[in-house]
Amino acid sequence: MLKFDKEKTKSAIWEILDTVLFVVVAIIIIRFFLIELRWIPSGSMMPTLYGDKDHALTSDRIVVEKFSKDYNLITKGKYENTPKRGDVMIFYPPSVKLKTTPSAVFSRLTGIFCNETAYIKRVIGLPGERIEIKQNSDGATYVYINGKRLNEEYVMSEYDYTKCDNNMYCGPFIIPEGHYFMMGDNRGHSFDSRYWGTLPKERFIGRAIFVFWPLNHLQILN
């Protein structure tokens, strides 16, 4: 007959709990201060990034860095992103209300059962800049920053643009301090700042720096 060893069982349980706690803390530290992995659910950033919510296995997987936040924490005492124009950023859009319950914060920190919607777009306009989106007589549409046309080689097509109307944020207007104007590279199929306005910097999660899957899409993002 097997003899139940209470002390050994108790020790084994504590060892398992200790290991689980270590793994959870490690995940939180890595995701919060270093990197996290994301997948692209839509085609709004094509041709730079490929995404398809119905075929997730073929969508791009990316590495999102938090190092720039760490740098600002050390140098400025503020844990925040200060992206440059052209950076591809992950963020929570203004329409998403971030829950502050312990379970919601835990999910956000670890990525476990986290269902808060995040977007990926490119930084186009910076705080304090005057932005305007204008269409030429031939149908081509361009972004103007402080009156100068922005050179955007990454866009899908300057002719494939959603036409601006009075309900959209196409300018001209000055981007408020602490806010950014975000746009997808696939301008005809991107729900971005043209529709919901400028993005507060507090909403940034991190910067996309590398595509690691699928292998034929490997690239460093500028």
In degrees and rounded to multiples of 5, residue 124 shows phi and psi of: -110, -50
69 catalytic per annotation: no
Q: What confidence score (pLDDT) does residue 222 get?
A: 74
Q: Measured between alpha carbons, how far is 56 from 214 in angstroms, rounded to an integer?
A: 11
Question: Global pTM?
Answer: 0.86
Q: What confidence score (pLDDT) does residue 146 get?
A: 98
User: Residue holding tokens 């502050």?
Assistant: 100
Percentage of residues in the chain having pLDDT higher than 70: 97
Catalytic entry in 42, 44, 190, 193: 44
Q: What confidence score (pLDDT) does residue 54 get?
A: 78
Q: What confidence score (pLDDT) does residue 136 get?
A: 92
137 catalytic per annotation: no
Catalytic entry in 59, 66, 69, 121: 121
Residue numbers in the chain where pLDDT is lower than 70 = 1-5
pLDDT digits 0-9 by tens, 45-60: 999 999 988 777 789 9
Exposure b/e, 33-68, CB count within 10 A at least 16 = b: eeebebebbbbbbbebbbbeeeeeeebbbbbbbbeb
